[in-house]
Amino acid sequence: MNKAQVVDFFSRLAAENPHPETELESVNDYTLLVAVVLSAQATDAGVNKATRRLFADVDTPEKMVALGEEGLKQHIKTIGLFNTKAKNVIALSEALVRDHGGQVPADRDALEALPGVGRKTANVVMNVAFGAETFAVDTHLFRLGNRTGLARGKTPLAVELKLEKAVPQPFRLHAHHWLILHGRYVCKARTPECWRCVVADLCAFKPKTPAPRDRKAPSGAA
Protein backbone atom coordinates (compact mmCIF):
# COMPACT_ATOMS: atom_id res chain seq x y z
CA MET A 1 0.00 0.00 0.00
CA ASN A 2 1.11 3.53 -0.64
CA LYS A 3 0.82 6.27 1.99
CA ALA A 4 -2.56 7.51 0.81
CA GLN A 5 -3.97 3.99 0.86
CA VAL A 6 -2.67 3.41 4.41
CA VAL A 7 -4.40 6.59 5.58
CA ASP A 8 -7.61 5.48 3.85
CA PHE A 9 -7.27 1.98 5.37
CA PHE A 10 -7.08 3.22 8.95
CA SER A 11 -9.58 6.01 8.39
CA ARG A 12 -12.20 3.42 7.49
CA LEU A 13 -11.39 1.20 10.47
CA ALA A 14 -11.49 4.24 12.74
CA ALA A 15 -14.86 5.32 11.38
CA GLU A 16 -16.29 1.91 12.25
CA ASN A 17 -14.77 1.85 15.74
CA PRO A 18 -13.55 5.28 16.91
CA HIS A 19 -12.45 4.11 20.37
CA PRO A 20 -11.14 0.53 20.16
CA GLU A 21 -10.19 -1.20 23.40
CA THR A 22 -8.62 -4.46 24.46
CA GLU A 23 -11.16 -7.19 25.14
CA LEU A 24 -9.14 -8.44 28.10
CA GLU A 25 -10.74 -7.42 31.40
CA SER A 26 -8.60 -5.85 34.13
CA VAL A 27 -8.97 -3.50 37.09
CA ASN A 28 -5.53 -1.84 37.02
CA ASP A 29 -2.13 -1.96 35.32
CA TYR A 30 -1.05 -5.01 37.29
CA THR A 31 -4.09 -7.12 36.47
CA LEU A 32 -3.76 -6.04 32.83
CA LEU A 33 -0.22 -7.40 32.80
CA VAL A 34 -1.36 -10.67 34.35
CA ALA A 35 -4.26 -10.99 31.91
CA VAL A 36 -1.99 -10.45 28.90
CA VAL A 37 0.47 -13.08 30.18
CA LEU A 38 -2.40 -15.52 30.65
CA SER A 39 -3.78 -14.81 27.18
CA ALA A 40 -0.86 -16.41 25.33
CA GLN A 41 -2.30 -19.26 23.23
CA ALA A 42 -5.70 -18.67 24.82
CA THR A 43 -8.79 -16.63 23.96
CA ASP A 44 -9.57 -13.34 25.66
CA ALA A 45 -13.02 -14.68 26.54
CA GLY A 46 -11.50 -17.72 28.24
CA VAL A 47 -9.06 -15.57 30.20
CA ASN A 48 -11.82 -13.18 31.28
CA LYS A 49 -13.97 -16.04 32.53
CA ALA A 50 -11.10 -17.35 34.65
CA THR A 51 -9.90 -14.01 36.01
CA ARG A 52 -13.11 -12.22 37.01
CA ARG A 53 -13.23 -13.80 40.45
CA LEU A 54 -9.45 -13.78 40.75
CA PHE A 55 -9.09 -10.05 40.11
CA ALA A 56 -11.97 -9.25 42.47
CA ASP A 57 -9.76 -10.45 45.33
CA VAL A 58 -6.21 -10.36 43.94
CA ASP A 59 -5.33 -7.02 42.33
CA THR A 60 -1.74 -6.38 43.46
CA PRO A 61 1.49 -8.34 43.12
CA GLU A 62 1.68 -8.58 46.91
CA LYS A 63 -1.72 -10.30 47.04
CA MET A 64 -0.73 -12.61 44.19
CA VAL A 65 2.44 -13.68 46.01
CA ALA A 66 0.35 -14.34 49.09
CA LEU A 67 -2.10 -16.42 47.05
CA GLY A 68 0.75 -18.60 45.84
CA GLU A 69 1.23 -20.78 42.81
CA GLU A 70 -1.15 -23.55 43.86
CA GLY A 71 -3.85 -21.08 44.78
CA LEU A 72 -3.49 -19.32 41.44
CA LYS A 73 -3.75 -22.61 39.56
CA GLN A 74 -7.20 -23.19 41.02
CA HIS A 75 -8.38 -19.95 39.42
CA ILE A 76 -6.77 -20.41 35.99
CA LYS A 77 -6.91 -24.18 35.46
CA THR A 78 -9.32 -23.73 32.53
CA ILE A 79 -6.66 -21.75 30.62
CA GLY A 80 -4.16 -23.55 28.41
CA LEU A 81 -0.64 -23.99 29.80
CA PHE A 82 -1.92 -22.93 33.22
CA ASN A 83 0.87 -24.64 35.15
CA THR A 84 3.62 -22.69 33.40
CA LYS A 85 1.58 -19.49 33.45
CA ALA A 86 0.93 -19.78 37.19
CA LYS A 87 4.64 -20.17 37.81
CA ASN A 88 5.43 -17.13 35.66
CA VAL A 89 2.73 -14.93 37.23
CA ILE A 90 3.99 -15.65 40.73
CA ALA A 91 7.60 -15.05 39.63
CA LEU A 92 6.79 -11.77 37.86
CA SER A 93 4.77 -10.65 40.89
CA GLU A 94 7.73 -11.33 43.15
CA ALA A 95 9.96 -9.37 40.75
CA LEU A 96 7.57 -6.41 40.75
CA VAL A 97 7.56 -6.31 44.55
CA ARG A 98 11.33 -6.77 44.79
CA ASP A 99 12.52 -4.54 41.96
CA HIS A 100 9.75 -2.04 41.19
CA GLY A 101 8.00 -1.26 44.45
CA GLY A 102 4.98 -3.31 43.38
CA GLN A 103 4.37 -1.09 40.33
CA VAL A 104 4.26 -2.12 36.67
CA PRO A 105 7.16 -0.38 34.86
CA ALA A 106 6.39 1.75 31.81
CA ASP A 107 9.47 0.53 29.99
CA ARG A 108 9.73 -2.24 27.40
CA ASP A 109 13.10 -3.55 28.57
CA ALA A 110 11.99 -3.66 32.21
CA LEU A 111 8.78 -5.42 31.24
CA GLU A 112 10.56 -7.97 29.08
CA ALA A 113 12.87 -8.75 31.99
CA LEU A 114 9.88 -10.07 33.94
CA PRO A 115 9.23 -13.85 33.83
CA GLY A 116 6.74 -14.82 31.13
CA VAL A 117 6.74 -11.38 29.49
CA GLY A 118 7.81 -11.19 25.85
CA ARG A 119 7.87 -8.31 23.41
CA LYS A 120 4.21 -8.69 22.40
CA THR A 121 3.03 -8.65 26.02
CA ALA A 122 5.24 -5.67 26.82
CA ASN A 123 3.87 -3.78 23.82
CA VAL A 124 0.26 -4.42 24.86
CA VAL A 125 0.89 -3.21 28.41
CA MET A 126 2.78 -0.14 27.23
CA ASN A 127 -0.02 0.75 24.83
CA VAL A 128 -3.06 0.06 27.01
CA ALA A 129 -1.68 1.09 30.40
CA PHE A 130 0.65 3.91 29.42
CA GLY A 131 -0.57 5.19 26.06
CA ALA A 132 2.59 4.28 24.16
CA GLU A 133 2.34 4.02 20.37
CA THR A 134 3.37 0.38 20.20
CA PHE A 135 2.37 -2.43 17.84
CA ALA A 136 1.75 -5.74 19.58
CA VAL A 137 2.01 -8.30 16.78
CA ASP A 138 -0.09 -11.33 17.64
CA THR A 139 -1.34 -13.95 15.16
CA HIS A 140 -4.01 -11.53 13.89
CA LEU A 141 -1.61 -8.68 13.21
CA PHE A 142 0.92 -11.02 11.63
CA ARG A 143 -1.77 -12.42 9.33
CA LEU A 144 -3.23 -9.03 8.42
CA GLY A 145 0.14 -7.42 7.85
CA ASN A 146 1.02 -10.06 5.30
CA ARG A 147 -2.42 -10.74 3.82
CA THR A 148 -3.36 -7.10 3.20
CA GLY A 149 0.10 -5.96 2.13
CA LEU A 150 0.13 -3.35 4.89
CA ALA A 151 3.27 -4.73 6.53
CA ARG A 152 4.72 -7.91 5.11
CA GLY A 153 7.34 -9.82 7.09
CA LYS A 154 8.48 -13.34 7.86
CA THR A 155 8.55 -12.80 11.63
CA PRO A 156 6.39 -10.88 14.12
CA LEU A 157 9.28 -8.48 14.72
CA ALA A 158 9.63 -7.79 11.01
CA VAL A 159 5.92 -7.00 10.77
CA GLU A 160 6.13 -4.79 13.87
CA LEU A 161 9.02 -2.77 12.48
CA LYS A 162 7.22 -2.28 9.17
CA LEU A 163 4.09 -1.12 10.99
CA GLU A 164 6.25 1.36 12.90
CA LYS A 165 7.26 2.90 9.58
CA ALA A 166 3.94 2.57 7.77
CA VAL A 167 1.30 3.76 10.25
CA PRO A 168 0.94 7.56 10.38
CA GLN A 169 -0.64 9.85 12.91
CA PRO A 170 -3.36 10.07 14.14
CA PHE A 171 -3.74 6.30 13.90
CA ARG A 172 -0.66 5.04 15.73
CA LEU A 173 -2.11 4.78 19.23
CA HIS A 174 -5.05 2.55 18.28
CA ALA A 175 -3.67 0.84 15.17
CA HIS A 176 -2.91 -2.51 16.75
CA HIS A 177 -6.37 -2.71 18.33
CA TRP A 178 -8.09 -1.97 15.03
CA LEU A 179 -6.03 -4.68 13.36
CA ILE A 180 -6.57 -7.24 16.14
CA LEU A 181 -10.33 -6.72 16.15
CA HIS A 182 -10.50 -6.74 12.35
CA GLY A 183 -8.56 -9.99 12.26
CA ARG A 184 -10.65 -11.54 15.02
CA TYR A 185 -14.07 -10.74 13.58
CA VAL A 186 -13.71 -10.02 9.84
CA CYS A 187 -10.36 -10.99 8.31
CA LYS A 188 -10.44 -14.44 9.88
CA ALA A 189 -7.66 -16.96 9.42
CA ARG A 190 -9.47 -19.70 7.50
CA THR A 191 -12.15 -17.77 5.67
CA PRO A 192 -11.81 -13.99 5.62
CA GLU A 193 -15.21 -12.34 5.31
CA CYS A 194 -14.19 -10.04 2.48
CA TRP A 195 -17.81 -9.41 1.52
CA ARG A 196 -18.30 -7.32 4.69
CA CYS A 197 -14.82 -5.80 4.93
CA VAL A 198 -14.65 -2.01 4.70
CA VAL A 199 -11.07 -2.11 3.40
CA ALA A 200 -11.42 -4.97 0.93
CA ASP A 201 -10.66 -2.79 -2.09
CA LEU A 202 -7.36 -1.70 -0.49
CA CYS A 203 -6.30 -5.23 0.41
CA ALA A 204 -3.80 -7.26 -1.62
CA PHE A 205 -5.45 -10.60 -0.77
CA LYS A 206 -6.69 -12.52 -3.78
CA PRO A 207 -9.16 -13.99 -4.39
CA LYS A 208 -11.70 -12.20 -2.20
CA THR A 209 -14.24 -14.33 -0.38
CA PRO A 210 -17.58 -13.77 -2.13
CA ALA A 211 -20.66 -12.57 -0.29
CA PRO A 212 -23.39 -15.02 0.61
CA ARG A 213 -26.38 -14.67 -1.69
CA ASP A 214 -28.47 -12.89 0.91
CA ARG A 215 -25.78 -10.35 1.79
CA LYS A 216 -24.36 -7.25 0.14
CA ALA A 217 -20.82 -5.95 0.46
CA PRO A 218 -20.46 -2.64 2.35
CA SER A 219 -19.97 0.52 0.32
CA GLY A 220 -16.29 1.18 -0.42
CA ALA A 221 -15.44 -2.54 -0.48
CA ALA A 222 -14.75 -4.60 -3.57
* Set 73, 85, 120, 162: catalytic member: 120
Active site residue 138: yes
Residue 104 to residues 28, 36, 61, 83, Cα–Cα distance (Å): 10, 13, 9, 23
104 secondary structure, DSSP code: -
Active site residue 208: no
Instruction: Quickly count: other Cβ atoms within 10 Å of residue 94's Cβ.
Output: 16
User: Could you tell me which residues are annotated as the binding site for [4Fe-4S] cluster?
Assistant: 187, 194, 197, 203
Backbone dihedral region for residue 116 (phi beyond 0: left; psi -120 to 50: alpha; all else: beta): left
* Set 73, 85, 138, 162: catalytic member: 138
d(CA 39, CA 46): 8
User: Could you tell me which residues are annotated as the binding site?
Assistant: 187, 194, 197, 203
d(CA 126, CA 105): 9
- Give catalytic residue positions: 120, 138
